[in-house]
Amino acid sequence: MKLQLPDDVLRPVARIEGGIRVSHNKITSECPVRRIEAPERVVIPMLQHIGAPCTPVVKVGDRVLAGQLIGDSEAYISAPIHSSVSGVVKSIAPVVTVGGRMINSVTIENDGLMEYDPSIAPPVINSREDVIKAVRASGLVGLGGAGFPAHAKLNFPKDVEIDTLIVNAAECEPYITTDYRECIENSWDIVSGIHSLIEYFGFKRVAVAVEDNKPEAIRVLDEIAATDRYMDNIIRLIVLKSKYPQGAEKMMIRTVTGRKVPPGKLPSDVGCAVMNVGSVAFIARYLKSGRPLISRTVTCSGSAIAEPANLRIPVGTSAKAVIEACGGYKTDPYKLIVGGPMMGFALYSDEVPLTKQNNALLAFAPNDKGIKRERACIRCGRCVAACPMNLMPVTFADKLKKDPSPQELNDLGAMVCMECGSCSYVCPAGKPLVQSMRRAKDIVREGMKK
């Protein structure tokens, strides 16, 4: 593997501290992305990102076109939502979404015509502000899973210099292969996206980061980096040791640039921006076509799925429809998960709409439980060694038994936890350590409110 030599901007470190080795189970890596037929009905939640929910701008009975704006918000941290099909609005009502929250959603009956909004046109770009405006209008949110509105990510504070863009193709969660397919199938979109971003944002370096378990993606990304080798050598390929959670934003910045984002700070505070490889490719496509984000790639996999696959689905397609497109269930599923197995949400039912944020839908058979019998903590220290944020999960679990003060938990670093799940994964006693971290964070948040 290529080891990138450090320069004045990038000082890659060998690997993250802590973290865990998980079995990758990327069984769909060689499945080309297949477009599924739009379902008869799409349910489009008005919250598909981190931030403020959108308000519907259509009424029941309206005919909407594919790509037409159906929800928007005045709030800054928010992203507009577009119809993914053409058809008639049947209802606007709260619906159970991934994660169990009831969210106001627009249900659209598909007329099967897939008629695009005629006003869709490539945006006119002359400046950085135009790019940010266009990205907002596209409805793009981070496609890696967290769903942070992309325009807010790109709107850097005026007084800081952002010298590095990291294009994140690490995809460290098991099973998921959407970024991998993006690299292989849409490599020229990625190139074009990177070049546009360099043009308008003036990054000194663009680091395309990928884990070393994806040789084919490395080959393709190396070609992408080579598009710049005879110009300024701005674009660099960084091959990272595969270790979960390498793809997490703070870990990524640490390994690629050697910088550490302090608690409560943003990547821009250390001069970095991190974008998912799929988001970069989408920006390129949007700048060319003006078609907003109304479909996305989802990996449908797991031991209970008959034919695991990578699918291009319209936003608002139900989990059930996606699984049916993969040949249905092989066996009765024991667990359904949206997102990766390390950080994803378990579903109560498969009648849940998938959104822009969701990169995977996994179904596990009963013999694939992932539940351990809970025993006494033997203080083996595996959770401490596994924590990429240098926390001591075992200490939090101990403290929580004794009604701790918010200050005490905050001093121990509770808010630094990103809930990556490494501690729970390694715990031989089967302790729900991530849950105790969440509880600790809640206590700190409640304490801050007072």
Partner 1 sequence: MSKLTVTSSPHVKSGATVTGIMLDVIIALTPALIAAVRYFGPRALLLAAVCCGTCVVSEYVSEKIMKRPVTLGDLSAVVTGLLLAFNLPPRIPLWMAAVGSAAAIIIVKQMFGGLGQNFVNPAITGRIILLVSFSQAMTTFTKPLGWTADAVTTATPLASLSAIDRGGDIAAQLSGGQLPGLWDMFIGNIGGSMGEVCALALLIGGVFLIARKVISPIIPCVYIGTVAVIMLIAGKGNFSFMLYEILGGGLILGAFFMATDYVTSPVTRPGKVIFALGCGVITSVIRLFSNLPEGVSYSIMIMNILVPLIELITRPHPFGFVKEKKEKKEKETA
Which residues contact partner 1 (rule: CB under 8 A)? Answer: 20, 22, 174, 250, 254, 260-263, 265, 329, 332-337, 341-350, 362, 364, 369-373, 375-382, 384-385, 388-392, 394-395, 412-413, 416, 419, 421, 424-430, 432, 434-435, 438
Number of residues assigned to the chain: 450
- How near is the Cβ of 348 to partner 1 at its closest, in Å? 6
Q: Are 320 and 348 within 8 A, CB to CB?
A: no
Sheet holding 295-301, edge to edge: 34-35, 309-314, 295-301, 360-364, 335-338, 345-346
Whose Cβ is closer to partner 1: residue 42's or residue 434's?
Answer: 434
- CA distances to 99, 199, 373, 396, 443 from 207, rounded to whole Å, are 33, 15, 43, 36, 38
Which is closer to partner 1, CB of 35 or CB of 265?
265
- Residue closer to partner 1 by CB (options 22, 326) is 22
Beta strands in 84-158 (DSSP E): 87-96, 102-110
The residue (of 120 and 346) whose beta carbon lies closer to partner 1 is: 346
Give me the least distance between CB of 108 and partner 1, in Å please. 26
- Min dist CB 64 to partner 1, Å, is 32
CB 360 within 8 A of CB 338: yes
Tokens of residue 383, six digits = 């959770």
Least distance CB 270 / partner 1 (angstroms): 9
CA-nearest of 91, 76, 241, 234 to 166 is 234
CB of 356 vs partner 1, minimal distance in Å = 20
Min separation Cβ 249 and partner 1, Å: 12
- Nearer CB in complex with partner 1: 92/256: 256
- Pairing of β 69-72 and β 81-82: antiparallel
Query: Shortest Cβ distance from residue 271 to partner 1 (Å)?
Result: 14
- 229 vs 372, which CB is nearer to partner 1? 372
Q: What does the alpha-carbon distance between residue 126 and residue 198 come to, in Å, rounded to a whole number?
A: 14
For residues 87 and 333, which CB has a smaller minimum distance to partner 1 in the complex? 333
